[in-house]
Amino acid sequence: MHVTQIPATKLTPARAVIVYRCRFVNVEKIEDVVENAMGDAGSIDISTAQNTLVLNVLADRVDAMKQTLLALDKPLPQVLVETQIVELIVKNGETRDTSLKFTHTNHKTGATSSIGYSLGSGATGSNEGGFNIFPLDSVSGNGDTDRLGLMLNWIDNSDDARILAAPNVIADLGQEAIMETGEDLPYTENSVTSSAVTQSIKFKRTGVSLKIKPTIINGDTVQLEINPQVTIAVRYESFAVPNSSGDNSAPVSNRIPVVSVRSVDTRLTAADGEIIMLGGLYSSESSESKNKIPFLSDIPVIGQFFSSKNYSVTDKQLLFFMKIHILDSPYMVLLDPEKTAKELQDAAKSMRSSNKLFTNPNVPEIDPGVRDVAKKKVLERKEKLDKIALEKKKAASEQKKDSDNKNTENNAGK
């Protein structure tokens, strides 16, 4: 018997190609993760222009890789930061021992919480540059309705405070968002060499900027890096440099803008809907004014009795109010207009009674007519819904009655 030996043939495992276009993320962000998930038995190519992945994997790994791609390609949650930058003005050493405090209600849970800030006369700490950090009594709240807007309207109409800016910024998770508004102040810069004086135009940025970067989102809380900054031009300073020949008798004049920069750079964790207050940064300005009676004040010796000098010191405190929103879970809330109107009116009365803080606390009364109209609309809608529900119930009852009658007739016929 003749036996023929056939050499063994190595079977090649079946392979498959997966082409996947990312909808929400950049392919370069997930390339390394996908490559590690495939292991050594696969290969990956990417097209950045089409934001597409091309995978060559073992056939038995296709389902697992599809699940991996779908898990990685999800829309990133976003964070919205609503900001109000408020400057409080205190003149001639006046104290502000009143608390800014207001409440808001979570209409999903019924819980109430408050936010407050004490503008005491003493500071708890200081840093370089003349800025003092004032005590923060309490910052809290996850409600859907708050009194922040009412308080800011009150500040906006006050003689002792003003809202410098109200920037709003949205940022993806892990991405920095920047909002800037202001102007560039031009100034000349002279470069002196042995042969000539070269003049160029430079710019110094002033205005308001807000930088935010959400780093971690866990359910209803978010960790943020926040950097609000206010830059204001104070004055121009002149100085001179020698001319090209080194002669100081005929110097070249330069004027440089001097700016005041007030900023906060911090990392914090906040809940969705929470109001955060940062501040207040403190700075001082002094001024002198002279009042005199014409002619009489110019008389030697006795002229001083017909004139006067006034010195004033103005302290400015900068506060940053920020409300945090996580945008991956929007929801709608039906508010009770009568309850909301009453809460607004109570908050307004409370603010007006704290007249030590502002000299002109003009908080308008809520028009009863507005409240009545809102209440009427809610009642009309409730009546309409009740009527529709009653009609549906009546129709269902009649339909059941007809069905019972037919069943009775059928039974009688049998």
DSSP output for 156-199: HT-TTEEEEE--EEEEETT--EEEEEEEEEEEEEEEE-SS-EEE
Which pLDDT score, from 0 to 100, does residue 412 have?
64
100 and 206 together in one domain: yes
| Better-predicted residue by pLDDT, 377 or 335 | 377
Tell me the backbone φ, ψ of residue 298, rounded to 5 degrees. Answer: -90, -5
> What's the rounded mean pLDDT across residues 109-137?
36
> What's the rounded mean pLDDT across residues 63-83?
88
164 and 44 together in one domain: no
> What's the rounded mean pLDDT across residues 351-379?
55
Is the pLDDT at 146 greater than 50? The verdict is no
Last residue in a domain, options 42, 72, 102: 72
The region of weakest confidence among 93-102, 150-159, 267-276, 404-413 is 93-102
Token pair belonging to 362: 């003009």
42 and 173 together in one domain: no
In a domain, 213, yes or no: yes
> What's the rounded mean pLDDT across residues 305-316?
75
Tens of pLDDT, residue by residue over 277-307, are 887 677 777 777 777 777 777 778 777 777 7
Count up the domains in the chain and report the number. 2
The residue type found at 102 is F
| Helix-helix angle 368-413:337-353, to 10 degrees | 160
Which pLDDT score, from 0 to 100, does residue 2 have?
64
Assessment of whether the complete model's pTM goes beyond 0.75: no
Q: Which residue range(s) make up the domain with 161?
A: 78-290+310-334
283 and 219 together in one domain: yes
Is the pLDDT at 137 greater than 50? The verdict is no
Any idea which residue has 């007739």 for tokens?
409
Is the pLDDT at 141 greater than 80? The verdict is no
Which pLDDT score, from 0 to 100, does residue 212 have?
92
Is the pLDDT at 185 greater than 80? The verdict is yes
| Better-predicted residue by pLDDT, 32 or 243 | 32
| Better-predicted residue by pLDDT, 69 or 128 | 69
In a domain, 300, yes or no: no
Tell me the backbone φ, ψ of residue 315, rounded to 5 degrees. Answer: -100, 135
In a domain, 45, yes or no: yes
Given a contact cutoff of 8 angstroms between Cβ atoms, the answer to whether 79 and 170 are in contact is yes
Which pLDDT score, from 0 to 100, does residue 129 have?
32
37 and 91 together in one domain: no
Token pair belonging to 342: 């009453």
Which pLDDT score, from 0 to 100, does residue 20 have?
92
Which pLDDT score, from 0 to 100, does residue 213 have?
93
Is the pLDDT at 226 greater than 80? The verdict is yes
Is the pLDDT at 51 greater than 60? The verdict is yes
